[in-house]
Amino acid sequence: MDRVAYLVRRLLLVIPTFIGITLICFTLTRFLPGGPVEMRLMQMRGMAAQGGAGESAGSATSANVSEEYKKELEKQFGFDRPFVVQYWDWLVNKRMGMNLESYAFRNKTAWQLIKSRIPISLWFGLASFLLTYMICIPLGIAKALRHRQAFDAASSVIVFIAYAIPSFALAMSLKMLFCGTVEGLWDIFPLGGIASDNVYGEALGTWAIFKDRAWHMALPIACYVAGGFAMLTLLMKNSLLDQISADYVRTVIAKGATRKRAIWCHAFRNALIPVATGLGGMIGLIFVGSIIIETIFEIPGMGRLSWDALIGRDYSVFLALLALTASFQLVGNIISDILYMIIDPRIDFSKK
């Protein structure tokens, strides 16, 4: 019952946390300069200035456009209503802004734009997530079991090099080396995108389409994996080393169990606890994507959409993305708590 009560409290805490995140960002978009009203007024002033070029009334026309249409634009975007009403309408009536029309893309709602990008981000996010855990956890275990040996030293060099290289530098380097952008180097992978031209229009089988997608995803996923490669590997190694040196492992060995059994049947499960607690953040990254990697490899994913929305002051799309990302992140934290309880049933939640 303590576990159920703890999970209920954590689920109830999600609601004020989500409201706090979205309310702060919603407030910033309403009070920071350069919003959609100001952007539209700048366009109108430019049009008025061009139309009145060479006329003495050109500056007056520009000013009149600003004064005449400002209140009308505020009403059009709903900025003339009280702030609390605006936030409630965005949160409830507009479904966290998903039903709002994009400021930059006319006749398209925020959800329509996001829906078209989610499958792409899921492809890259899930593939990088699975590869990261499939590589880093076994590597961390191997480094812990061969601590201070040649394998540990050699793998540490690779791990720290991967950690030291920024993601944008790695992406640019891989693109120059393997995409034929520099004469004399390899031209193995495509410059960008997620599929070859007309690949879905041709009579190709499922396996051929999969290979084409994997061919385009190889370098971006390598950059994704390198980003969290070192941290997760070292976390797994250090966690397992701490458990191996704990008193309960020595007690198990003293009672007649082999070292191998003590490690795999006792220490390994407890060593997974820190890895499980970081799972929530990884789940959020699956859906968000990476702005830098998506921009360099021309991937139309969620990260690039959020960057374009922020630069273009398309706050309707940006806030919808923020709400979606925050929801995934909070759900990921709940999943981390559930995994924590599954891995270590001894945890007492009665005082939490």
Per-residue pLDDT of the chain (352 residues; tens, 9 = 90+): 677 888 888 888 999 999 999 999 999 888 877 777 777 777 766 666 666 554 444 444 555 556 666 778 778 778 888 999 999 999 999 999 899 888 888 788 999 999 988 888 888 888 888 888 899 899 999 999 999 899 999 999 988 888 888 888 888 899 888 988 777 778 888 888 888 776 655 556 777 778 888 888 899 988 888 877 788 899 999 999 999 989 989 898 898 888 888 888 888 888 888 887 777 667 766 666 678 888 888 888 888 898 888 888 888 898 999 999 889 888 888 888 888 777 777 666 655 4
Residue 233 phi/psi, 5° resolution? -65, -50
pLDDT of residue 37: 76
Taken in order 85, 88, 92, 96, the sign of the CA dihedral is: positive
pLDDT of residue 51: 62
The Cα 318–Cα 175 span in angstroms is 29
pLDDT of residue 153: 93
Structure tokens at 23: 């309310």
Q: What is the CA radius of gyration of the chain?
A: 26
pLDDT of residue 85: 92
The Cα 23–Cα 343 span in angstroms is 35
The Cα 350–Cα 294 span in angstroms is 45
At 279, the amino acid letter reads L
Calculated CA dihedral for residues 53, 55, 59, 63, nearest 10 degrees: -100
Q: Residue 129: which of 287, 308, 343 has the closest Cα?
A: 287
The Cα 12–Cα 171 span in angstroms is 41
pLDDT of residue 314: 87
Structural domains of the chain sorted by starting position, each given as residue range(s) with its CATH number in brackets = 33-80 (no CATH), 110-343 (1.10.3720.10)
pLDDT of residue 60: 45
pLDDT of residue 56: 44
Helices 2-31 and 315-343, axial angle in degrees (round to 10): 160
Q: What is the DSSP string of 42-104?
A: HHHHHHHHHHTTT-TTHHHHHHHHHHHHHHHHHHHHTTTS-HHHHHHIIIIITTTTTTSBPSS
Structure tokens at 195: 């599929």
The alpha-helical segments, DSSP class H, found in 263-314 are 268-277, 279-288, 291-296, 302-311
The alpha-helical segments, DSSP class H, found in 146-205 are 150-164, 167-178
The Cα 58–Cα 140 span in angstroms is 69
